[in-house]
Amino acid sequence: MIVTLIGGIVMFSLLALDLILKAWAYAYEVSQPNFFLGFIRINYLPGGNPGIAWGMFGDSKGAMIAVTIFTCVMIVGIAALFLFMFKKNAPARICLAVIEAGAVGNLVDRLCLGYVRDFVDVSRLGFNICNFADFYITFGAVALLIVILFIGKDAVIPIGKWRRELRREREAERAKEQAKETSDGTEPPSEPPSEHNGTE
């Protein structure tokens, strides 16, 4: 219950941040001349991005309808994973909440505006202009993969304390099974009832 609450807070907080920053960048047409730290700057994209990454499929209405439908399905799927599949994996659920915030943020733009508001210029890193929702999806997906592979007792390759906990659990189960087998094998046979009543 607590993790569900925290996940909801994370998702709605990040979604609000994404939408607020998009509104700010486009309302004031923010375009910084210099890159901060040499690789990132705020530089809104006039007219927005009608397609997906790098404006692909922006001229195809049918393709964008398909992308929108796929995004809706993905949002429902992520919610199902959050609520049912990863109920005992808190780190995975937080990652899913982050991805959900990004997916919903870009879907809101497509449904309300017909395009996605991109304003974060990371072209110095070999990418293009994107937004915070894109960051949420990318980093959330990478983090989720790391969690599934390495973090938690149910990970594919558990590391650190999870490996030790998993080993202890397996050893405890093995000891319990051995104790049960030993108990079953040494239990004295029950004596048949005596045919004599003690008075011959």
Burial class (CB in 10 A: 0-12, 13-18, 19+), 162: middle
Annotated catalytic residue: which of 18, 109, 118, 121?
118
Instruction: Look at residue 116 and give its three-state secondary structure.
Output: strand
Q: Where is 121: in which H helix or E strand?
A: strand 120-121
109 is a catalytic site residue: no
Q: What is the distance in angstroms between the CA of the first residue and the CA of the last residue of the chain?
A: 73
Phi, psi of 58 (to 5 degrees): -65, -25
> What is the rounded radius of gyration, in angstroms, for the C-alpha atoms of the chain?
28
134 is a catalytic site residue: yes
Annotated catalytic residue: which of 18, 109, 121, 134?
134
What are the catalytic residues?
A: 118, 134
